[in-house]
Amino acid sequence: MDIIRFQHVKKQYKTGVTAIHDLSLNIEKGDFVFIIGSTGCGKSTLVKMIYRAEKPTSGKILVGGINVAKLRDSKVYKIRRKIGVVFQDFQLLSRSTVYENVAFALEIFGLPKAEIHSKVIKALELVGLKHKAKNYPNQLSGGEQQRVAIARAIVNGPKLLICDEPTGNLDKNTSVEIMTVLEEINKLGTTIIMVTHDTDIVNRMKKRVILLDSGRILKDYEKGTYKNEGIQNTK
Amino acid sequence: MKAFRILSRNIRDAAKSVFRNFSLSLASISCITITLIVVAISSILSSNVNNFATLVEKDVTIVVFLDLDITDQTRQNVADSIRLLDNIESVTFKSKSEIANEMKESSKEFESALSNWTEEESPIQDTYLVKVEDIERIGETAKSIEKMKGVSIVKYGEGMVEQLISVFDMVRKITVGMVIALIIVTAFLISNTIKITIFSRRREIEIMRLVGASNINIKIPFMMEGLFLGILGSIIPIIAMIYGYTALYEHFDGKMFSPFIRLIQIQPFVYEVSLFLLLVGALVGMIGSWRAVRKYLKI
């Protein structure tokens, strides 16, 4: 079953730049998909449209059966609650502890304290940071901060996790750590879509790879068939 | 239960946030404090003018002088007809002997002059003292009384009363207008100060949006924070107002310039103004925050 379906999606910015041209794409539930391509090829725009940070100019985007292209601004939060998002720059609240950062997403919904506690601890255990729950983000390394961001993204048990260059700011070893965590989450049944520049990671993971070029799908590699090709142009 | 949890979390977070963003909170609080002090001064002024005007208006009486040779029946008829008029609050009879006695008590000259006359010879007339409900229509009421049979003269301080009323009315309108204008200006000022606070926290709002907070989820904590800032900002004005007014009242012994201009009693007046300031601070803080956060709620 497809969790995401793009049907003839076009995105043109107000500046006149067309980021995505007539793009159609299906992503299956439980899949792990890399989206790669050179800078400015529309990777970020593509994933932003999934969690409705951008609205397509035309076409249909079905996420879990809901057409997010038609979603009103005031209803966007409904889809956001079902999707976890992780960014290159972590996006943590610097004045809140690790625990508070992760609990933040649940507190908004008014869950009971005990339930929040057990969910937060579970998420922190999954990313291996339970012992740092009381630390502040600036007391953590980059890799640890990213793991906190991942814990926050999955604490609500989303079916879909979007990672926009999650290893972009991290060194090689730390990137491997992050990928291990992501793979773990994927094994638990969460669909993961990851935008990246890092060909090493893509090579090693042997997952489905979608190569974008100038807003079009240049090639869609089945699981394990990608062999470091067609991405010479990346930074 | 769920709503209660969300609310208590919001209150806790708002309190935390006020202290975490202390320097910016202080800016908002000072802004509220300063404007509320001005609001306090003008509301004290406005209330006192109002109070004085009401007191004077209450004192205004129509004195109806009755004919010297009036019969008891006609006198009674006059009272009944006056009571039938629609603008009447009370009608009191004051007989000529009562008036004569008052005059005798007031000075020796009157006493010797009045003692020369018998009851029948006395030029003093029986009177009705009439209080009206609507002071602005006093002239009209006085005219209707004047036409009645048995009434010789009607006096109410014509000219002076009308002038006084129009002056009071103007002062009242100006002071009330000033208070309202000040409140609006405060709301704008606070809104702008809070906007700066929120600008430094737009990242927090972005993250809230990202994890699926609805607009209400985002607005409520900021409004709570505005409420706290408003309440904190009203503390100094309230204390200053209570002590300031008490000192003023005691210094002038409750009167100003002349014994006629009486100040409003300290209690419960200062508590009423305190409550008003607290409410204005809280409301204005909330509205200011709500206005300020709106801008960041677009996707």
- The answer, for B5 touching chain A at a CB cutoff of 8 Å, is yes
Q: Which residues of A are less than 8 Å from B215 in CB distance? A: 74, 77
Interface contact B299-A53, CB threshold 8 A: yes
- In a domain? residue A213: no
Nearest CA in chain B to A79: B212
Could you report the per-residue pLDDT of B14-71, keeping only the tens digit for each? 788 778 778 878 888 888 898 888 888 888 888 887 887 777 777 778 888 888 888 8
Nearest CA in chain B to A92: B207
- In a domain? residue A2: no
DSSP state of A6: E
Interface contact B9-A110, CB threshold 8 A: yes
- In a domain? residue A82: no
Q: Are A22 and A8 in contact (CB under 8 A)?
A: yes
A128, two tokens? 């291996």
Where in chain B do CATH 3.30.70.3040 domains reside? 61-156
- The answer, for A162 touching chain B at a CB cutoff of 8 Å, is no
Compute the distance between CA of residue A74 and CA of residue A72 in angstroms, rounded to an integer.
5
Interface contact B212-A156, CB threshold 8 A: yes
| Chain A nearest C-alpha distance from B191 (Å) | 23
Bigger pLDDT: B3 or A171?
A171
Compute the distance between CA of residue A162 and CA of residue A183 in angstroms, rounded to an integer.
13
- In a domain? residue A106: yes
| Chain A nearest C-alpha distance from B193 (Å) | 21
What pLDDT sits at residue A131?
Answer: 93
A160, two tokens? 């879909």
- The answer, for A156 touching chain B at a CB cutoff of 8 Å, is yes
Option in A81, A91, A111 nearest B207 (CB): A91
| Chain A nearest C-alpha distance from B282 (Å) | 24
Could you report the per-residue pLDDT of A4-59, keeping only the tens digit for each? 999 999 999 999 889 999 999 999 999 999 999 888 888 999 999 999 888 999 99
| Chain A nearest C-alpha distance from B298 (Å) | 8
Q: What is the 3-state secondary structure (H, E, C) of B76-136?
A: HHHHHHHHHCCCEEEEEEECHHHHHHHHHHHCHHHHHHHCCCCCCCCCCCCEEEEEECCHH
Number of other residues whose CB lies within 10 A of the CB of residue A231: 19
Compute the distance between CA of residue B105 and CA of residue B108 in angstroms, rounded to an integer.
8
- In a domain? residue A171: no
| Mean pLDDT, rounded, for B206-214 | 83
Interface contact B203-A91, CB threshold 8 A: yes
Share the mean pLDDT of chain B. Answer: 82
Q: Which of residues 174-203 of B touch A (CB under 8 A)?
A: 203
Q: Which residues of B are less than 8 Å from A71 in CB distance? A: none
Compute the distance between CA of residue B126 and CA of residue B95 in angstroms, rounded to an integer.
5
ipTM of the complex: 0.77
Nearest CA in chain B to A48: B210
Option in A80, A95, A107 nearest B210 (CB): A80
Half-sphere exposure of B60 (CA within 13 A, CB side): 27
Interface contact A81-B2, CB threshold 8 A: no
- If one counts the domains in chain A, the total is 1
Q: Which residues of B are less than 8 Å from A74 in CB distance? A: 214-215
Percent of chain B with pLDDT over 90: 8
Q: Are A51 and A85 in contact (CB under 8 A)?
A: yes
Bigger pLDDT: B177 or A160?
A160
| Mean pLDDT, rounded, for B162-187 | 80
Give residue A140's domain range: 93-155
- For chain A, which ranges sit under pLDDT 50? 230, 233-235
- In a domain? residue A69: no
Q: Are B175 and B45 in contact (CB under 8 A)?
A: yes
Band (B266; pLDDT cuts 50, 70, 90): confident
Check: CATH 3.30.70.3040 for B61-156?
yes
| Chain B nearest C-alpha distance from A204 (Å) | 30
Compute the distance between CA of residue A167 and CA of residue A146 in angstroms, rounded to an integer.
8
Q: What is the 3-state secondary structure (H, E, C) of chain B?
A: CHHHHHHHHHHHHHHHHHHHCHHHHHHHHHHHHHHHHHHHHHHHHHHHHHHHHHHHHHHCCEEEEECCCCCHHHHHHHHHHHHHCCCEEEEEEECHHHHHHHHHHHCHHHHHHHCCCCCCCCCCCCEEEEEECCHHHHHHHHHHHHCCCCEEEEECCCCHHHHHHHHHHHHHHHHHHHHHHHHHHHHHHHHHHHHHHHHCCHHHHHHHHHCCCCHHHHHHHHHHHHHHHHHHHHHHHHHHHHHHHHHHHHHCCCEECEEEEECCCHHHHHHHHHHHHHHHHHHHHHHHHHHHHHHHHCC
Entry field: residues in chain A? 235
For residue B153, pLDDT beyond 80: yes
Alpha helices by DSSP H, A43-167: 43-50, 76-80, 98-107, 113-126, 142-154
Q: Which residues of A are less than 8 Å from B206 in CB distance? A: 91
| Chain A nearest C-alpha distance from B209 (Å) | 7
Mutation target to probe the B interface, by most B beta carbons within 10 A, among A49, A55, A77 is: A77
Option in B5, B209, B211 nearest A110 (CB): B5
Element of type H or E holding A183: helix A172-187
DSSP state of A189: T
Looking at the whole model, is its pTM more than 0.90?
A: no
| Chain B nearest C-alpha distance from A191 (Å) | 17
| Chain B nearest C-alpha distance from A118 (Å) | 17
Mutation target to probe the B interface, by most B beta carbons within 10 A, among A109, A119, A120, A156 is: A109
What pLDDT sits at residue A235?
Answer: 39
Q: Which residues of A are less than 8 Å from B20 in CB distance? A: 95
Mutation target to probe the B interface, by most B beta carbons within 10 A, among A73, A108, A159 is: A108
What pLDDT sits at residue A233?
Answer: 46
- In a domain? residue A118: yes
Option in B3, B203, B299 nearest A76 (CB): B299
DSSP state of A222: P
